[in-house]
Amino acid sequence: MNRPLKVALLALAVSTFSATAQAHRTWLLPSATVLSGKDLWVTVDAAVSNDLFYFEHHPLRLDGLEVLAPDGTKLTPEHVNTGRYRSTFDIKLGGPGTYKIMVLNQGVFARYKLDGQNKRWRGKPEQMKSEIPANATDVEVSELQGRIETFVTSGKPTTDTFKPTGRGLELVPVTHPNNLVAGEKATFRLVLDGQPAAGLKVEIVPGGIRYRDKLNDTRVTTDESGTFSYTWPGPGMYWMSASVRDDNSRIKDARRRASYTATLEVLPP
């Protein structure tokens, strides 16, 4: 393409939502987050849904699935399967410590017109030049860096798996995510490309929204160091989400949308 690329905001499943209208949410849900003993396994459900932690829309694609062991090595998930409404996989915990389970979604989304018809394309940056016809018009391109995470600890919590990679939006816990208790304040830090993500809106939603008249979501804002705190109102599973749009795309004349979501379990006091 020899024309300047127009900037577009990316509308994908990994999206933020409004408190007044439901939207699709992406999540990983482990069968347990804190375990002890030997021969330990965790089953993880992965889905895209309207109601948090219910299977009623689409399975989450697992192309970018990664599991980090407490020592930073990568584990291979077992029994990976994708059904009509959810994907599932098992993880055998090889030793004590904290495991990070994540799905990384990095790519390019483009909209354009060809012979008067609207077209869409999604793929990798290096494929874009050959995949989008040279005579395409009204080309709009966005880069997506999405990160969906959850955490599981066997025995004593560890922190080695939380070292940021320096790419996209990442969580650097101050309070360990497997040490959350109802009624207590937890503190987290978000970084963007390894630097503090200041002034970022973070949304926190307790699970079980199918049986509530209100979403009961809370919005907090990161400070200059990218840090925010939240006091958990009760035990259960929570969904946390943040996103940012900026001009730091690797692709010329395109904007980037970096998003982060996590599933956290809060234990009773």
Location of structure tokens 């989400």: 241
Compute the distance between CA of residue 248 and CA of residue 253 in angstroms, rounded to an integer.
10
Domain assignment of residue 135, yes or no? no
Mean pLDDT on 245-251: 80
Mean pLDDT on 183-187: 97
Give the total number of structural domains in the chain: 1
Mean pLDDT on 38-64: 94
Domain assignment of residue 119, yes or no? no
Domain assignment of residue 165, yes or no? yes
Q: What is the pLDDT of residues 78-106, one digit of tens each?
A: 999 999 999 999 999 989 999 999 999 88
Domain assignment of residue 121, yes or no? no
Domain assignment of residue 112, yes or no? no
* Tokens read off for 86: 């959810």
Domain assignment of residue 17, yes or no? yes
**The pTM is what?**
0.84
Residue 44's domain comprises 6-107+142-266
Q: pLDDT category, 20, cuts 50, 70, 90?
A: very low
Q: What is the pLDDT of residues 190-245, one digit of tens each?
A: 999 999 999 999 999 999 888 888 888 999 999 999 999 999 999 999 999 999 98
Residue 15 φ/ψ, nearest 5 degrees: -135, 155
* Other beta carbons within 10 Å of 118: 9
Domain assignment of residue 132, yes or no? no
pLDDT value of position 97: 97
Say which CATH number the domain at 43 has.
2.60.40.1930
Whether the CB-CB separation of 149 and 171 falls below 8 Å is answered with: yes
Domain assignment of residue 63, yes or no? yes
pLDDT value of position 40: 96
